[in-house]
Chain A
Amino acid sequence: MNLISRRGAMGGALGLLSAPAILHAQPAGGVKIGLVAVQTGPQAALGSQLRDGFLMGLRHLNGRLGGLTAETVMIDDELKPDVAVTKVRTALERDRCDFIVGVVFSNILQAIIRPVTEANTFLISTNAGPSTFAGRGCNPFFFTTSYNNDQVHSVIGQVCEDQGYKRVFVMVPNYQAGRDAVAGFKSRFKGEVVDEVYVPLTQLDFAAELAKIAAAKPDAIFTFMPGGLGVNLVRQYRQAGLAHIPFLSTFTVDEAVLPAQQDAAVGLFSAASWAPNMDNAANRRFVTDFEAAFNYVPASYAAQAYDGAMLLDSAIRRAGGRLADKDAIRAGLRAADFASVRGNFKFGVNHYPVQDFWLLKVAKRADGKFQTETVRKVLENNVDPWAAECRMR
């Protein structure tokens, strides 16, 4: 972990009481990255995935991005938007970060996007990809290496169409991302939605909803239950003997929660643009070295953050290391001239990726660990539905 420097983050409050402002000299030929990853609270596992993925990327790049020595300032958003704003402002104004990278949750992204982009600093989200900034709200200083949330949910809608499911039961948490999930799913699913159930984000027990599912006898269920919600749901789904109903999900069974779901999740479906078993040279190197370094299976949070490091490296290199030349950096980022662990990867006009989406299935590996594996490609070179509204040139 000697890649992380806390020097920049020190000083702060105590320095404020004793000494006058500390001067932060820009290290000659260096580049400073503010890495936003949640480290407190129940979702910290996702933040750790993101952080480790980015650090893995740096390690493969020998600690340099585009030839410049990289210094990482860790920012824990605590999953509180106002805390995130304060900390990110500090990273920009005091630590003079050249890039802000990371962000697991879209509500944090919404909170920090204005302070970052108004400071003419590039914000590279490696996970959150809300629709707000994909269409009319697209931004010349904002890129995402993940996807637009709607795309992932629409993959399941497409799968249900392909499989000929007529009646699908939908269950999501009652918050913005949950409502977006339903909209994304319905954008491609034309059959009957038997029931839409919205559960509170603090839901522990799904017994009431499972009884509803059993009563509705659907052809399949579509659900989006991130983090601990998914752990509870998957195990209770199995316990209730409902596993014969196809379980199609997004962000519900992934490598971040599989260690807790274990056998209960085997055979359940998910959708994503990446899986650990994807067969390309960049991915094999990433997964092998990641597992060796951190001793757990990487999830998409890690893979996309790894791609984020590679993207930065390629962009800075193309711009000849001139960080102040924002147009050159932007051109370098748009080119996306790096070998993605997803294979096929380029940016659309709105700086959201144009990529393939896959149907995944949870499997138990020979070494007893669990991972998602590709079943088939569902959407190819998919452009998110909002890109057309983006007026950016």
Chain B
Amino acid sequence: MPRLRLDVALTLLVLAALALAPLLGFGANHYLTLFARIMILAAAAVSLSFLVGGAGLASLGHAAAMGVGAYAVAILDAHRLTDITIVLPVAIVAAALFSLLTGAIAIRTEGVNFIMITLAFGQMAFFTASSLAPYGGDDGYTLYDRTEIFGLRLMENRLFFHYLCLGFLLFCWGFCAMLLASRFGRVLRAARENPLRVQAVGFAPYPFRLLAYVIAGTLAGLAGVLFANATEFVAPAYMGWQRSGELIFMVILGGLGRLSGAILGAVLFVLLETWLPNLTTHWKMIFGPLLILAVLFMRGGLIGFLGARRG
């Protein structure tokens, strides 16, 4: 399978470049800020890719789960609770619970209706966050401190944070890949391709899908914890449908059906988004057509494009 090897190799190359970047003259803080944004969004995109590509659940509310994680950091911070021993469990439980409650209803629907109902839940989370006046409301909330690790302020160290994000991205990638390769993943994919047959062999797809939804949501929540720490700021916009849409774009841009695609897509998306505005204030007039061309001429995203060139 040359396709698989090529995209995985490329992704590994990108990750290796990220790992070595601070040693190769890209250690300045602004590079690290950009890299952190890339890696965190890539991790969230990987979890979404697991959901969309693996379970066939195209969620347009994935950013809401990420935002729940970010808000867990913010709300605890407002009460001066910044240690990871508290922040992490709270964020995980909150994101998982949010995904469980919304997923339980959303997974009853299919196709476009699923997209829309997840959008609805995302908007509800957005409006709820906007009305949290003690935590900044619409204006968002500036953190007093980054999350501490057993009382140590390690996250303030830019290099440590860089490798933490990289580690988390690797974990997400490995964990989702492992899940997809497991029996659980096979049932998910089978249920996506032929739900009737899966039911006929005695599996009800619903609990499997729900579990996948909760896992993806929890991973996104963890990404949200990192994102809040990276920007030292949390805002309702983190939960909006636009951010969810961006995550979807990263997944499709890279190539649906391959987790590595989400990583490549995120890298490309964030780089374009950072670089294009330097050319012209009307950069969206370039970005928009680029998206269209990417869809029209790169079937299967970046990965499909690379695979086609080779084959």
Give the interface of A toward B (CB within 8 A): 6, 9-10, 12-14, 16-17, 20-21, 39-40, 76, 80-82, 85-86, 89-90, 92-94, 106-107, 110-111, 113-115, 130, 174-177, 179, 201
B278 touches A176 (CB 8 A): no
A82 touches B231 (CB 8 A): yes
A16 touches B26 (CB 8 A): yes
A21 touches B25 (CB 8 A): yes
B137 touches A175 (CB 8 A): yes
Chain A residue with minimal CB distance to B274? A13
Chain A residues whose C-beta falls within 8 Å of the C-beta of B37 in the assembled complex? 86
A176 touches B33 (CB 8 A): no
Cα(A114)–Cα(B138), bound, Å: 18
B137 touches A80 (CB 8 A): no
Verify if B110 is at the interface (C-beta below 8 Å from A). no
Chain B residue with minimal CB distance to A78? B277
B136 touches A20 (CB 8 A): no
Chain B residues whose C-beta falls within 8 Å of the C-beta of A12 in the assembled complex? 274-275, 278
Provided the pairs A86-B33, A90-B34, A110-B139 are in contact, do residues A10 and B278 lie with their beta carbons within 8 angstroms? yes
Q: How far is the CB of B133 from chain A (nearest CB, A)?
A: 7
Stretch at the interface among B43-51, B197-205, B233-241: B233-241
Verify if B196 is at the interface (C-beta below 8 Å from A). no
Chain B residue with minimal CB distance to A107? B139
Extra 6 A-B pairs, beta carbons < 8 Å, given A107-B138, A175-B137, A175-B139: A16-B31, A20-B24, A81-B231, A82-B235, A86-B34, A94-B28
A114 touches B232 (CB 8 A): yes
Provided the pairs A76-B277, A82-B238 are in contact, do residues A114 and B142 lie with their beta carbons within 8 angstroms? yes
Question: Can you list 25 residue pairs at the A/B interface with Cβ under 8 Å?
Answer: A13-B34, A13-B275, A16-B31, A16-B34, A17-B271, A21-B28, A21-B31, A76-B277, A81-B231, A85-B233, A86-B231, A89-B30, A90-B30, A92-B30, A93-B30, A106-B139, A110-B141, A110-B142, A110-B233, A111-B140, A111-B231, A174-B130, A175-B138, A176-B139, A179-B133
How many interface residues does B have (CB within 8 Å)? Answer: 35
Cα(A144)–Cα(B30), bound, Å: 26
Chain A residues whose C-beta falls within 8 Å of the C-beta of B85 in the assembled complex? none
A176 touches B133 (CB 8 A): yes
Chain A residues whose C-beta falls within 8 Å of the C-beta of B131 in the assembled complex? 174
CB-contacts of B265-297 with A (<8 A) = 271-272, 274-275, 277-278, 281, 284
Chain B residue with minimal CB distance to A39? B281
CB-contacts of B142-184 with A (<8 A) = 142
A85 touches B136 (CB 8 A): no
A110 touches B140 (CB 8 A): yes
A107 touches B130 (CB 8 A): no
B233 touches A201 (CB 8 A): no
Provided the pairs A81-B233, A82-B231 are in contact, do residues A93 and B138 lie with their beta carbons within 8 angstroms? no
3 tightest Cβ-Cβ pairs between the two chains A and B:
A13-B275, A175-B138, A93-B30
Cα(A16)–Cα(B133), bound, Å: 40
Point out the residue from B25, B141, B233 that lies within 8 Å of A20, measured CB to CB. B25
B237 touches A13 (CB 8 A): no
Point out the residue from A39, A93, A114 that lies within 8 Å of B29, measured CB to CB. A93
B281 touches A76 (CB 8 A): yes
Q: How far is the CB of A199 from chain B (nearest CB, A)?
A: 13
B278 touches A111 (CB 8 A): no
A6 touches B284 (CB 8 A): no
Of B24, B139, B281, most buried by chain A (CB within 10 Å of CB) is B139
Chain B residues whose C-beta falls within 8 Å of the C-beta of A176 in the assembled complex? 133, 136-139
Q: How far is the CB of A5 from chain B (nearest CB, A)?
A: 12
Provided the pairs A81-B233, A82-B235, A110-B142 are in contact, do residues A89 and B284 lie with their beta carbons within 8 angstroms? no
Q: How far is the CB of A380 from chain B (nearest CB, A)?
A: 30
A111 touches B277 (CB 8 A): no
Chain A residues whose C-beta falls within 8 Å of the C-beta of B227 in the assembled complex? 82
Of A40, A107, A113, A115, most buried by chain B (CB within 10 Å of CB) is A107
A177 touches B30 (CB 8 A): no
Provided the pairs A76-B277, A80-B237, A81-B237 are in contact, do residues A110 and B31 lie with their beta carbons within 8 angstroms? no
Chain A residue with minimal CB distance to B280? A6
Chain B residue with minimal CB distance to A128? B139
Cα(A107)–Cα(B235), bound, Å: 9
A177 touches B139 (CB 8 A): yes
Cα(A21)–Cα(B27), bound, Å: 9
Provided the pairs A21-B28, A93-B28, A107-B138 are in contact, do residues A13 and B271 lie with their beta carbons within 8 angstroms? yes
Chain B residue with minimal CB distance to A47? B281
Q: How far is the CB of A176 from chain B (nearest CB, A)?
A: 4
Cα(A106)–Cα(B25), bound, Å: 36
Point out the residue from B29, B233, B274, B281 that lies within 8 Å of A111, measured CB to CB. B233
Chain B residues whose C-beta falls within 8 Å of the C-beta of A40 in the assembled complex? 281, 284
Q: How far is the CB of A180 from chain B (nearest CB, A)?
A: 10
Chain A residue with minimal CB distance to B272? A13
Cα(A113)–Cα(B143), bound, Å: 11
Q: How far is the CB of A78 from chain B (nearest CB, A)?
A: 8
